[in-house]
Amino acid sequence: DLEIYPNIDSNRNIDCKLQLAQALKKANICSYLEIISTARVPLVKFTDIESNLNVDVCFERESGIIAADEINSLQMQFPVLRPLTYFLKYFLWFRNLNEPFRGGMGSYLLQMLIVNLIQTHPIRSTRRWRDVDSEISLGGWLMAFFELYGNRFNYSELGICPYPKAHYFLKEDRGMKLYD
């Protein structure tokens, strides 16, 4: 992801996105190009023609830089976060569930779910909690992720707050709408 802060007023951001898209197309450096102006965070998406890397470019969103710093810190704290994220991102991509603006799950949400799992895993409450990262394999974490979020988690009543200290909360207590 890339954050851009143009030195113009925010009413012209759509022009910036269009200008970037036109420049990318003219330079013939992308195999895929899309402007998504209706997303919560409007962006330009493209795939680099040489590396085949997918790039998301958004404008004037400092929250992305803050989130990147948080994620880097969490990856240092929880070594399993990065490889588990890579695998699950591929899993979601393969099923076309990786684009939030299309109803899928983005990277930040996915990593927050993984961090919550790591912080709240039952083994953390045992006497061996300090060795948990070396005792559970990547496959074990993967199965725990699918078990928790695929079978057990009560999405209709509970919310997750993984950072800075993991905990669950009742949605009703925060005025959130409950769904069956």
- Is residue 19 scored above 70 in pLDDT? yes
Across 17-21, 121-125, 149-153, the highest mean pLDDT is recorded for 149-153
- Is residue 13 scored above 60 in pLDDT? no
pLDDT, one tens digit per residue, over 68-92 is: 888 899 999 888 999 999 999 999 9
Backbone angles phi, psi at 31, to 5 degrees: -95, -15
Range 138-160 average pLDDT: 92
Per-residue model confidence (pLDDT) at position 134: 63
Per-residue model confidence (pLDDT) at position 8: 52
Per-residue model confidence (pLDDT) at position 147: 94
Cβ neighbours for 36, distance < 8 A, ≥ 6 positions apart:
42, 43, 44, 45, 101
The C-alpha atoms of residue 43 and residue 67 are separated, in whole angstroms, by 17
Task: Give Cα 38 distance to the centre of its chain.
Answer: 19
Q: What tokens were used for 168?
A: 């669950």
In this structure, are residues 64 and 71 in contact, taking their beta carbons and an 8 Å threshold?
A: no
Per-residue model confidence (pLDDT) at position 180: 58
Per-residue model confidence (pLDDT) at position 103: 87
User: What is the average pLDDT value for the chain, to the nearest integer?
Assistant: 82
- Is residue 66 scored above 60 in pLDDT? yes
In this structure, are residues 16 and 8 in contact, taking their beta carbons and an 8 Å threshold?
A: yes
pTM: 0.73
- Is residue 27 scored above 90 in pLDDT? yes
Across 39-43, 138-142, 176-180, the highest mean pLDDT is recorded for 138-142
The C-alpha atoms of residue 175 and residue 180 are separated, in whole angstroms, by 16
Per-residue model confidence (pLDDT) at position 63: 73
Q: How many CB atoms lie within 10 A of CB 126?
A: 12
